[in-house]
Every structure is written in C-alpha cells, then in structure tokens.
C-alpha cells in the first residue's frame, strides 16, 4: 500500500442532540405502534426533536469541534455541510453555519448523500487537504428528517430523530488519519427510499402544502444496505492491509440495530468493539456517525493509534466506509460553553402541526381518489 502524501488527522469533534425526547410510548400516540414493536424491529427506544433549524444544530456542533481542537474559526479554509435537510435551497445551509461561527475565511458547500453524507464529507475534506488546496477543514453531518416524514406511515415515522455532529480535519506529520475509504451509490435503487415530491419534480400549486410523498421499501433497503456497506468495508480493509480482527472500534451508521448486528457478524466484531446508540437517538441521518464518534471519545473508548472503521448507507442509495488511524490526542483541548435557548414545548407539541397536517393531507388524498 502506498503511503498518502499528506496525513490528515481529526483534531476536534463536537455534537449536539436536542433536549426534547420523544419516547416510543409517545410515538404510540401518533401511529398504531408500541414500544415493543419499535424496539424489537429497530433497537430504537427514543429519539430527539429539535425546535431550531438544521444550520443552528450544525453551528453548535461545529463550535464544540472547534473548541476541542482549540482552533479559531477564522483559520478554517473549508466547511463541508453534509445534510439532506437544508434550511433553504438558496443559499446553502453551510453559509449560515459559516456566518454563525465566524469562519469568515472559509469556502463553503452543502453535500447531500443523505445518511452517508458525513462519510462522503470526510473523504472529500481529506482529499482537499492532501491536494494542498486546504489546510483546515470542518466536516459536519446534520439533519432534521422528522420535518419531512409522513406521520400516518408507522414504518417510517418511528425511525428518525434530529441531531448534528462535526469534526475538524488538519494536515499533520503524524502517520495517522484516514488510511482508506470507499464510496459508492446504487442509483438504480434510488426510488426505494425517497421523498418523491420534495424538489423541482413537485408541480407547483398542485400538491398539498407541507405534505411530502415518502416511499420507504424496508426489506429492499435492508438488503441493499448490508450489501453496500459490506462491499465498502471489505474494500477498505483490502486497500489498507488491516485485518478485520485488528479493528479497534466500529462506528456504523445508526439506522437499524439489525443492520448493525449483520455488519458485526460479517466482521466478527464483539459488542465491546462496536458503538451503538440508536436506542437513544434513532436514525439522525448524516449525523449518526459523528455523534457516535463523539460519544465514543467521551466514554474513553478511543485510544491513541486505534484503528476506527466507519460505514454508512443512505438514500440514493449511497454507501461508503472509511478506516481511520487515530492520532495521539483523545481529549479536547478546550470545552465549548455555548448552548441553545430552551423550548417550553414537549417533543409531541413540536411535532403536532406536522402530525395534524399529515392526517389532513392523507384524508384529502383519499377523497380525491
């Protein structure tokens, strides 16, 4: 294996998960389900619901990552905002983050690879630094998928939560950082996981305001996810020359505990080497991997020189994996004291306008048919 021309290491991590918790029992008040039905099929016990925008979530995660790296935001050369839920189509959400954190010298773009967005961003950010074009890059994964959901569809409504995570990438002389990565997409299967009318394909003024037509084919998504992530993982291990048993920590996308368990079996990875937090947050889309990585660091599960393997899949169907050799430092250089203003609404109260709107929209569609 040829050595990369430039090592690129993660010098800071940060995440934010909203304070408002929506439990499975509360979800049962929305759709015909139960805690047992959800947890046995997905591993999810609760999820978080945000009262602020995607960019606001992302900005706080970014500030925490900057503090951990002890980096002035004006030193950033680039911000990559991995999201499928931008606050506005024009301008991009990354520009809002840039303004919020004071990264006045950074170039910015949004990257939409759905749940694989952070892994894609990690690869792109690393490549930009290795090319010599950039020195310090902020990569964010942030999403608010609950905003788009149809709250009459049990199989989909129970899965997702809000959140954001971020890392700082910097050039370094350490022989650490990303060792290998593999990105891919099964575009022929893009229709099995889609908001079919959430873009310019939506005929203006003809639909029901606020309602999104969601298609979610669970069994096929499961099959494709396992295959895509499995292929990506095998490829990065082959490229790196690192054996599966030498992986110190697996940080998988938190979509479904059964998918995680299938990946664990393929790698013969014991539970103590796998980060699983889906029970607390549900699927936070592009945010799952950086949130899980942050928690692993906070819990002392990452040691200097550890080999960390991450894998994800998302709508598209995008998929990818990355193998990282961790650097010498596993503790933050500084803490961020910032937080978000509280909300006096419960998670259910925050969702109520969307729940009521979905029910009305489905009733209107049924009448029209």
Question: Encoding tokens for residue 4?
Answer: 């990369």
Candidates 24, 85, 115, 358; catalytic one: 115
Q: Write down the catalytic residue from 85, 92, 185, 253.
A: 253
Query: Would residue 282 be called left, alpha or beta, if left means φ above 0 and alpha means ψ between -120 and 50 degrees?
Result: left
Read off the DSSP letter of residue 110: E
CA angle 59/306/114 to nearest 5° reads: 40
Catalytic status, residue 283: yes
Distance CA 340, CA 18 (A): 9
Residue 115 appears among annotated catalytic residues: yes
Non-local CB neighbours of 25 within 8 Å, separated by 6+ positions:
35
User: Where are the extended beta strands (E) located within the chain?
Assistant: 7-16, 20-23, 46-49, 78-82, 107-111, 136-144, 162-172, 177-185, 193-195, 214-216, 249-252, 307-314, 318-325
- Scored b (16 or more CB within 10 A) or e, 264-273 reads beebebeeeb
**Helix, strand, or coil (residue 177):** strand
- Catalytic: 307? no
Query: Which residues does the annotation mark as catalytic?
Result: 115, 253, 283
């Amino acid at each position: 294996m040829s050595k990369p021309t430039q090592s690129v290491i993660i010098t800071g991590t940060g995440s934010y998960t909203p304070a408002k918790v929506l439990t499975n029992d509360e979800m049962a008040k929305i759709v015909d389900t139960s805690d047992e039905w959800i947890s046995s099929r997905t591993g999810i016990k609760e999820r978080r619901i945000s009262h602020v925008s995607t960019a606001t979530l992302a900005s706080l995660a970014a500030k925490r990552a900057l503090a951990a790296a002890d980096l002035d935001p004006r030193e950033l050369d680039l911000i990559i905002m991995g999201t499928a839920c931008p606050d506005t189509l024009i301008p991009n959400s990354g520009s809002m983050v840039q303004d919020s954190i004071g990264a006045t010298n950074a170039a910015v773009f949004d990257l939409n690879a759905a749940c694989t967005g952070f892994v894609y961003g990690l690869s792109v950010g690393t490549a930009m630094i290795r090319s010599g074009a950039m020195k310090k890059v902020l990569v964010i994964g942030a999403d608010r998928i609950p905003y788009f959901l149809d709250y009459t569809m049990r199989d989909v409504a129970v899965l997702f939560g809000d959140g954001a995570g971020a890392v700082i990438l910097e050039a370094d002389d350490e022989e650490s950082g990303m060792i290998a990565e593999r990105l891919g997409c099964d575009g022929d299967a893009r229709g099995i996981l889609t908001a079919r009318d959430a873009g310019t394909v939506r005929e203006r003024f003809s639909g029901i305001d606020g309602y999104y037509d969601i298609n979610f084919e669970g069994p096929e998504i499961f099959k494709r996810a396992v295959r895509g992530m499995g292929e990506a993982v095998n490829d990065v291990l082959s490229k790196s020359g690192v054996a599966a048993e030498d992986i110190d920590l697996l940080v998988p996308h938190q979509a479904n505990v059964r998918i995680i368990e299938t990946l664990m079996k393929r790698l013969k990875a014991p539970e103590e080497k796998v980060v699983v937090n889906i029970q607390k947050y549900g699927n936070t889309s592009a945010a799952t991997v950086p949130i899980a990585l942050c928690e692993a660091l906070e819990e002392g599960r990452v040691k200097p020189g550890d080999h960390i393997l991450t894998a994800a899949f998302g709508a598209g169907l995008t998929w990818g994996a990355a193998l990282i050799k961790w650097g010498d430092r596993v503790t933050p250089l500084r803490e961020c004291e910032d937080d978000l203003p509280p909300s006096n609404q419960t998670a259910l109260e925050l969702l109520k306008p969307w729940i009521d709107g979905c029910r009305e929209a489905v009733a209107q569609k049924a009448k029209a048919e």
